[in-house]
């Protein structure tokens, strides 16, 4: 009996030590994840006082030490205009256990406001009662800026489109009319409902349509993507008039043609059009002046995934951890980005532990291509070298960037396709942008000779300068 009690005394401390070791390993793993995730994380008590904050949150808010944040109320870092909403969301989180992602305006250390998206969950004690909150904060400033630039670019294009005295029509490659401005409606006599969807070549006699098709073919082959012609045409309305027609090719982000933009001018009304252009120059001048992260741990030797969170599963379209376990992460990197990913993982992460953010294209289980922004950290997992990689889906931001490039290309093609000279000047009268028509009209050989010159001295005759 005495021997049995002695054995129990030896076993219990040994089991306790193993349990404590497992607990330390678990806490260390959580700490690595906590600090490696690229988004800001805060842990607060029920009154909103910060008890823990991640390094990402410090960088986001402009602080250098956690001690500057811990103990302060998290609502202090939300702009006053959004605090009522934040409090309401906290109450809902207490009731439901979770607060979905919502946009707020935050304030950094210097008082500068920035846009961020925050979501939260309730932390509970061992009895199941709410004990605090954990919040994840994502800085969406870049996304907001990209969206705003895109809106401004599209608005510039739309204002120019509708303000032009020349007719503008946009068609697909087969000549089907997709959009027109008001000038085209006045010129053709059609309503918008009548003309959209029609075959643009079918609105004129066969010979005229044939010539315009030839012009479009030349534009496709042209290095500049534009082609001009002066042609007398007779629309089906029966009104005969001379027009100057310029055609430009619209292309997608890959450079493949998607359609045409046609600029049409009724030459018989040139004087009225020039007057309308002068009146609208001011308008043109004003126009131109004016998640949570997925986290995976990969084996340092095999590059296979040994652990992943739920967000990573969802982002890669896997159903369970068993589906993604033992998968080589590099197999799901886009083939064109794989060699770069291998170098970054091997050198930047495992050799140098640079902890730099990199962007990759990935392929999900279902074959969907996505853009991820990833940050890798060298760690030890189960006594072996491993990498902790956190990533977020930036596909929407990339698509916004792509949409912006296509929108700017439309604006550029339209700008360069205009037959009239168009010039943009700063408030001191210096030319900052001109189209090719302005270069030809003023007799200069290239844009560089005009840019920076005074608009009055370069374009307006001396006898008329006083009028301006």
Q: What phi, psi does 70 have (nearest 5°)?
A: -60, 130
294-398 has the same fold as 37-139: yes
Compute the chain's Rg from CA coordinates: 32
Domain extents in the chain: 37-139, 145-289, 294-398
Tokens 């005009």 found at: 450
3-class secondary-structure state, position 39? coil
Using an 8 Å Cβ cutoff, are 354 and 374 in contact?
no
* Structure token pair of residue 85: 């909403």
pLDDT at 42: 85
Helices (H), 222-354: 270-289, 310-315, 321-324, 335-343
Q: What phi, psi does 106 have (nearest 5°)?
A: -100, 165
Q: How many C-beta atoms lie closer than 10 Å to residue 282's C-beta? A: 9
pLDDT at 238: 45
Compute the distance between CA of residue 346 and CA of residue 301 in angstroms, rounded to an integer: 10
pLDDT at 324: 80
pLDDT at 231: 58
CA dihedral over 172, 173, 177, 181, signed as positive or negative: positive
Of 390, 379, 378, nearest in space to 349 by CA: 378
Q: DSSP state, 199?
A: B
Compute the distance between CA of residue 443 and CA of residue 366 in angstroms, rounded to an integer: 59
The fold of the 294-398 domain, in CATH, is Beta-Lactamase (3.30.450)
3-class secondary-structure state, position 204? coil
Compute the distance between CA of residue 377 and CA of residue 351 in angstroms, rounded to an integer: 10
Compute the distance between CA of residue 208 and CA of residue 75 in angstroms, rounded to an integer: 69
The fold of the 145-289 domain, in CATH, is Beta-Lactamase (3.30.450)
Compute the distance between CA of residue 178 and CA of residue 198 in angstroms, rounded to an integer: 8
Compute the distance between CA of residue 124 and CA of residue 133 in angstroms, rounded to an integer: 9
pLDDT at 336: 93
The fold of the 37-139 domain, in CATH, is Beta-Lactamase (3.30.450)
pLDDT in tens, the chain (468 residues): 545 454 455 555 667 677 666 556 555 555 655 655 668 888 888 888 888 888 888 888 888 888 888 888 888 888 889 888 888 888 887 777 777 888 888 988 888 988 888 888 888 888 888 888 888 888 888 888 888 888 888 788 778 777 778 888 888 888 888 888 888 888 777 888 888 888 877 666 666 666 777 766 776 666 655 555 555 555 555 456 667 777 778 888 788 888 888 888 777 666 556 666 666 655 433 332 335 688 888 998 888 988 888 888 888 888 887 888 778 888 889 999 999 998 998 888 888 888 889 999 999 988 899 999 999 889 888 889 999 888 888 989 988 988 998 888 888 888 878 888 888 888 888 988 888 888 888 888 888 888 888 877 777 777 766 666
């Amino acid at each position: 009996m005495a021997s049995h009690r002695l054995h129990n005394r030896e076993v219990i401390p040994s089991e306790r030590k193993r349990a404590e070791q497992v607990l330390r390993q678990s806490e260390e793993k959580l700490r690595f994840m906590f600090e490696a995730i690229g988004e800001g994380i805060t842990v607060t008590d029920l009154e909103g006082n910060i008890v823990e904050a991640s390094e990402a949150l410090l960088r986001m808010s402009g602080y250098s030490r956690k001690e500057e944040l811990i103990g302060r109320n998290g609502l202090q870092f939300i702009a006053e205009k959004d605090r009522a909403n934040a409090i309401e969301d906290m109450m809902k989180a207490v009731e439901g256990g979770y607060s979905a992602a919502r946009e707020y305006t935050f304030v950094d250390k210097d008082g500068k406001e920035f846009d961020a998206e925050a979501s939260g969950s309730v932390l509970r004690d061992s009895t199941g009662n709410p004990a605090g909150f954990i919040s994840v904060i994502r800085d969406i400033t870049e996304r907001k800026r990209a969206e705003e630039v895109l809106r401004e670019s599209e608005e510039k294009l739309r204002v120019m489109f509708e303000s032009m005295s020349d007719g503008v029509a946009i068609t697909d490659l087969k000549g089907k009319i997709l959009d027109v401005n008001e000038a085209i409606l006045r010129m053709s006599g059609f309503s918008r409902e009548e003309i959209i969807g029609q075959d643009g070549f079918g609105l004129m006699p066969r010979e005229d349509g044939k010539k315009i098709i030839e012009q479009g073919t030349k534009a496709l082959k042209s290095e500049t993507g534009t082609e001009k012609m002066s042609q007398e045409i007779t629309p089906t309305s029966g009104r005969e008039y001379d027009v100057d027609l310029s055609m430009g090719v619209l292309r997608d982000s890959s450079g493949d043609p998607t359609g045409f933009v046609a600029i049409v001018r009724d030459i018989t009304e040139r004087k009225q059009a020039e007057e309308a252009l002068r009146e609208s120059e001011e308008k043109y001048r004003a126009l131109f002046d004016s998640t949570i992260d997925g986290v995976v741990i990969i084996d340092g030797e095999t590059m296979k995934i040994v652990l992943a969170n739920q967000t990573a599963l969802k982002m890669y379209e896997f159903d369970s951890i068993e589906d993604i376990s033992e998968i080589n992460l590099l197999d799901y990197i886009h083939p064109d980005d794989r060699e770069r990913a291998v170098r970054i993982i091997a050198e930047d992460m495992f050799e140098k532990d640079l902890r730099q953010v990199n962007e990759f294209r990935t392929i999900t289980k279902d074959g969907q291509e996505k853009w991820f922004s990833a940050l890798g950290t060298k760690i030890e997992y189960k006594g072996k070298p491993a990498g902790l990689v956190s990533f977020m889906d930036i596909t929407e931001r990339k698509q916004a960037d792509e949409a912006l490039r296509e929108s700017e290309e439309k604006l550029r093609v339209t700008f360069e396709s205009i037959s009239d000279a168009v010039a943009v000047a700063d408030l001191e009268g210096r030319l900052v942008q001109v189209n090719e028509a302005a270069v030809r009209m003023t007799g200069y050989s290239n844009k560089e000779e005009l840019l920076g010159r005074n608009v009055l001295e370069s374009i307006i005759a001396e006898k008329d300068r006083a009028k301006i």
